[in-house]
Structure 1
């Protein structure tokens, strides 16, 4: 298989990261989204090529559509996520990346850094598609949540995927920017949705009631939305979406209707997750938990360190307040952050890890 990094090299990198995990100490630090003063510099990634068994590049057969938001504040995480996906799939040239990005804003010192230019410079062999997301479409629908980062319009762009992607995209994997994939993404892509509009790991042991306020549960008309369903928590940072079925079912409108209720009655405290739960919890295709080892960023308030859950892992997700690049740069990383470090393409990262 003609690929820049062999499976053996990928395995070695992961083993090295696991060794660092065993040696590192865990400590918590309060971190959140920061504004980058200028465009960060990234190393150019190696070119990844298809194996002999893969369909030709550009062929609809075997294409895997992956959607992510593109935000300057999370660019370092996006780079690592893309790198990990390409490194671990046998058919990297068949992965089609779709980036949802807001228009660049001007500041006193000039325009915001252009994250798409950074993506193209780091992965010059990729041909990503960028879709401009208009923040005004959702800004008036957003209610203040427990953390400022959750209130950013791009955090809600996943609701509008079906309206944003081209008509020929009928299925898409949506991923947050704080993930790394350590398995072949085609396995997640090929999940049988079984007639459902969304597939994702489902966590029925979680206390579902805590995602909504007492005002919601005490209102029989509102809480009746779950009648006939067994609602379970799922994380919207890793989803396989049947785009065609989402469009036909008017799911964007249904999510927006719950956001309108939230504006009037304050029925939840988090950002874009609860309206998804209100519409889809108990009615999704459950995927193996290995595809979202979530919560590695800690809780939404403190971001304290957390350990891995037992079991096999295909995707690591630093959901929560703590982001691995910020904790590593602060020299107060959590143990799990060393699993993210091998995928960091930031130019200063290699020097920092060696010190």
Structure 2
């Protein structure tokens, strides 16, 4: 085959270089691209009946409410809406402290929270993904396999020892009630409080292999296990630390790696450790499943009864459905808390 003419060879080389540079730019943009822009939230102030916030100068101040959430680029829009909803409905918003966990781009995420909520009392902690390296098994949905999805297991280790109690929230929910009502529930002798759903078929959360091997299935002996959703939990961190629950959850993750006893990410280890030993919370505090199932994310209705928290667990997320112009009816309840700053339809440029 004769060699290309010099001008043609130069053109081909230039095209190849452009392709390489374009691919490199695309890869870089996924890791270093701009984060979503948000409107600044208004300043929410305490009511007259609120005590003056004193944390962290007084670590055991009972009037301070601690909330933990994860932050990442994919769910950032949901996280911002969740924070906004808590503040808007709180009687004492200045007494609410947010503890955010992030694995990547902490400086950018910190800046986003600071500029969106200039008056917010918050702290941002690094979640080292090496903590779960080699412990995560693939599940039925890729989003469930992300390391940050397991950060809730390590709250007791990552948060200051002066934080003795925490509310954990997923990033796809909004609160429509005073958060103090959830914060002040009595956990009695339990480590964890959450709405329980005992009508759900508990056997579906584990494989047939799990139920066929006595050394696994007898873990529920003497317990009446019920399903609970780990996207809304009130946790006694003092008891958690003293009884080593992080290590107990990790042990089940190791067993899963070699035996494949469940399919649903970080949920089953919590069921294995806590189900049947949970302080039941009113169902109003987790109207979950609004994102549909884990495969199709179809629209769903609210459960019967009052509502204090709406949770778009499942595949369908309200911001994605709204942007695609295919929202579900209940997604309109999420819209008022969306601080995302859309690009203008017209520009002077």
- TM-score by length of structure 2 reads 0.87
Q: Which portions of structure 1, spanning 4 or more consecutive aligned residues, are displaced by more than 2 angstroms?
A: 34-38, 57-61
| Structure 1 unaligned blocks of 5 or more | 1-33, 105-111
Q: 1:261 aligns with which of 255, 258, 261?
A: 255
Q: Find the aligned partners of 2:277 and 2:343 in 1 and give their Cα distance.
A: 42
Q: Which residue of 1 is the match for residue 81 of structure 2?
A: 80
Q: Which residue of 2 is the match for residue 94 of structure 1?
A: 95
Q: Which residue of 1 is the match for residue 308 of structure 2?
A: 314
8 Å CA contact 2:72, 2:104 repeated in 1? no
Q: Which residue of 1 is the match for residue 13 of structure 2?
A: none
Q: Which residue of 2 is the match for residue 10 of structure 1?
A: none
Going from structure 1 to structure 2, the CA distance change for 1:176 and 1:349 (only over 3 Å counts) comes to farther
Residue-by-residue CA offset, 1:102-148 (whole Å, 9 max, x unaligned)? 133xxxxxxx9822211110001113101111001102100000111
8 Å CA contact 2:53, 2:63 repeated in 1? no
Q: Find the aligned partners of 1:312 and 1:95 in 2 and give their Cα distance.
A: 24
8 Å CA contact 1:55, 1:61 repeated in 2? no
* Number of equivalent positions: 311
Q: Which residue of 1 is the match for residue 272 of structure 2?
A: 278
1:127 equivalent to 2:128? Answer no
Residue-by-residue CA offset, 1:251-271 (whole Å, 9 max, x unaligned)? 000000100110000000010
| Structure 2 unaligned blocks of 5 or more | 1-29, 56-60
Task: Kindly state the Cα deviation for residue 284 of structure 1 after the two structures are TM-superposed.
Answer: 0.6
Within 5 A, what are the aligned runs for 1:1-355? Answer: 37-59=33-55, 60-104=61-105, 114-348=108-342
8 Å CA contact 1:171, 1:241 repeated in 2? yes
Q: Find the aligned partners of 2:266 and 2:119 in 1 and give their Cα distance.
A: 33
Task: Kindly state the Cα deviation for residue 350 of structure 1 after the two structures are TM-superposed.
Answer: 10
Task: Kindly state the Cα deviation for residue 49 of structure 1 after the two structures are TM-superposed.
Answer: 0.2
Residue-by-residue CA offset, 1:171-209 (whole Å, 9 max, x unaligned)? 000000001000000000000001100000000000110
8 Å CA contact 1:51, 1:90 repeated in 2? yes
What SS class does the counterpart of residue 238 from structure 2 fall into? helix
Task: Kindly state the Cα deviation for residue 247 of structure 1 after the two structures are TM-superposed.
Answer: 0.4
Task: Kindly state the Cα deviation for residue 237 of structure 1 after the two structures are TM-superposed.
Answer: 0.3
Q: Find the aligned partners of 2:344 and 2:212 in 1 and give their Cα distance.
A: 53
